[in-house]
Amino acid sequence: MGKTDNHNLNPRLACPWPRQIKLAHLRMIAPDELKNWILHEDDDVIVINKPGDLVCHPSKAGPRSSLVGAVREYSGLALSHLIFRLDRETSGVVVFAKTSVMAARLQNAMQLRRVGKAYLAIMTGEFSEPVTVDQPLGDDENSMVLAKSAVRPGGKPAVTHFTPLSHGEGFTLVRVVTETGRKHQIRAHAQWLEKCIVGDKIYGPDERCFLDFLDHGWTPALAEKLLLPRQALHCSEIDMRKAGTPRVFSAPMPGDMRAFCEARGIVIPEGI
């Protein structure tokens, strides 16, 4: 490339990020594990409580390296339609449609915002009043992480409601409800509030934690900065009643988030 072409170079596209997650860091699903995660199954759907260390979409490491691959292997279906995804380190309710008819129905309901989603999160900082963030999201062009989102002019509309449940020792347990489904929406809006989610490698105290993790895995240095090996975000409820399926699927707070709260005296309300 000649010197005259340098002004056309996009440094974010030329850089080596985002690095690919090494196979050694991928979570492999044991043959009988998936059955223990199933919350509900019928002729139309499979509803699963996804662990917080598992990718949704297939990888090159085989069917048991992703939730989609494991569901296909378990069900024997040629296709298992993932209605919406969760980030690798977000746990909680995930819905698969078994038929193309049900998939189209639920995907249309998602687009029309007829599927309600609620999350539990542990956030840095203490606050006691509900907060709504109505800020557009787009690519964070100032980040070393290509996949990162940020509040920015010209972004896509995004609305997130944060309702504190309890707090202690500088942290708050929060119920989060989203009106839209943008990439990394909750995490980016939490960062905009300057109250990031505990354990978040990208939107937490230093986005270089994400790059360090991809290169070296979980280390004592990362543990000191992040406190949890994964982001403390859990999809606790999917309400499909407005989608024509008279069910609300829920998954209890996972053990790692519960232990974090209990160790800091953060009261966990009954029923979650």
Of the residues 79, 112, 145, which one is the last residue of a structural domain? 112
For residue 17, the model assigns a pLDDT of 46
Q: What number is the average pLDDT over the span 257-264? A: 98
Spatial CA neighbour of 138 closest among 119, 152, 121, 120: 152
Q: What number is the average pLDDT over the span 210-234? A: 95
Of 74-88, 105-119, 218-232, the range with the lowest mean pLDDT is 74-88
Same domain, 121 and 224: yes
Is residue 39 domain-resident? Answer: yes
**Structural domains of the chain, count:** 2
Residue 202 sits at φ, ψ, to 5 deg, of -100, -45
What's the CATH number where 105 sits? 3.30.2350.10
Same domain, 237 and 186: yes
For residue 85, the model assigns a pLDDT of 85
Same domain, 107 and 141: no
Is residue 12 domain-resident? Answer: no
Same domain, 104 and 133: no
Of the residues 95, 112, 129, which one is the last residue of a structural domain? 112
Task: Give, in order, the Cα–Cα distances in Å from 42 to each of 34, 100, 111, 116, 245.
Answer: 16, 15, 23, 20, 12
Predicted confidence band of residue 66 (pLDDT cuts 50, 70, 90): confident
Is residue 164 domain-resident? Answer: yes
List, for residues 154-183, the tens digit of each pLDDT value.
Answer: 999 999 999 999 999 999 999 999 999 999
Note if 212 is an active site residue: no
Count other C-beta atoms under 10 Å from residue 213's C-beta.
21
Same domain, 230 and 260: yes
Is residue 14 domain-resident? Answer: no
Taken as a whole, the chain contains a residue count of 272
Q: Is 70 exceeded by the pLDDT of residue 104? A: yes
Burial of 29 (0-12, 13-18, 19+ CB in 10 A): buried
Predicted confidence band of residue 26 (pLDDT cuts 50, 70, 90): confident
List, for residues 128-162, the tens digit of each pLDDT value.
Answer: 999 999 999 999 999 999 999 999 999 999 999 99
Q: What's the whole-number average pLDDT of the chain?
A: 89
Q: What number is the average pLDDT over the span 201-225? A: 95
Predicted confidence band of residue 7 (pLDDT cuts 50, 70, 90): very low
Same domain, 91 and 120: no
Predicted confidence band of residue 63 (pLDDT cuts 50, 70, 90): low
Choosing from 5, 44, 53, 87, the catalytic residue is 87
CB 184 within 8 A of CB 131: no
> Which domain, by its residues, includes 148?
115-267
Q: Is 90 exceeded by the pLDDT of residue 115? A: yes
Q: Is 70 exceeded by the pLDDT of residue 226? A: yes
For residue 145, the model assigns a pLDDT of 93
Is residue 9 domain-resident? Answer: no
Predicted confidence band of residue 243 (pLDDT cuts 50, 70, 90): confident
CB 251 within 8 A of CB 238: no
Q: What number is the average pLDDT over the span 51-77? A: 82
Predicted confidence band of residue 62 (pLDDT cuts 50, 70, 90): low
Q: What number is the average pLDDT over the span 248-264? A: 97
- pTM for the predicted model, two decimal places: 0.89
Beta strand segments in 64-115, E: 81-82, 91-97
Same domain, 154 and 90: no
Same domain, 150 and 252: yes
Predicted confidence band of residue 65 (pLDDT cuts 50, 70, 90): confident
Same domain, 256 and 121: yes
